[in-house]
Amino acid sequence: MTTLNNTVQLIGRAGLDPEIKNFENNRKRARFSIAITNYYYNQNGERVENTQWHQLIAWGKTAEVVEKIVKKGRQLAVTGTLTNQSWQDQAGSKHQKTEIVLNMIQAFGKMAG
């Protein structure tokens, strides 16, 4: 049985071609982002565009699929898990990063123009 605990599903467009990194033992990592745009009307009746960017990372076979199908502007459906990382750099500044670790990716629709 599949668990729904910490499952993220998104449909959006790739912001850039993925960044691919190859490691020893033929292990591969892919990083890219997708944009999800929603629209609403403000109090003045004006249509407002709201775009949210999400950072994604894929490993192994999923990274190989990402490398083959993800191109800037391509519409994608993704499923993964949300991860948060925090660290302190040498200067003492605190940083935080949220990414979605991909389990599944599917391209569909036409490329953005």
* Lowest model confidence (mean pLDDT) among 2-16, 17-31, 72-86, 87-101: 2-16
Confidence of residue 112 (pLDDT cuts 50, 70, 90): low
Report the alpha-carbon distance of residue 13 to residue 73 in Å, rounded. Answer: 5
What is each CA distance from 43 to 25, 39, 49, 55, in whole angstroms?
56, 13, 14, 31
CATH of domain 1-38+49-84+99-113: 2.40.50.140
- State the Rg of the chain over Cα: 16
Q: 26: which residues sit within 8 A by CB, 6+ positions away? A: none
Q: Which pLDDT value is given to residue 2?
A: 58
Report the alpha-carbon distance of residue 49 to residue 63 in Å, rounded. Answer: 31
Q: Tell me the per-residue pLDDT of 19-44, one tens digit each, with 9 for 90 and over.
A: 999 998 889 999 999 999 999 999 99
Mean pLDDT computed over 42-49? 96
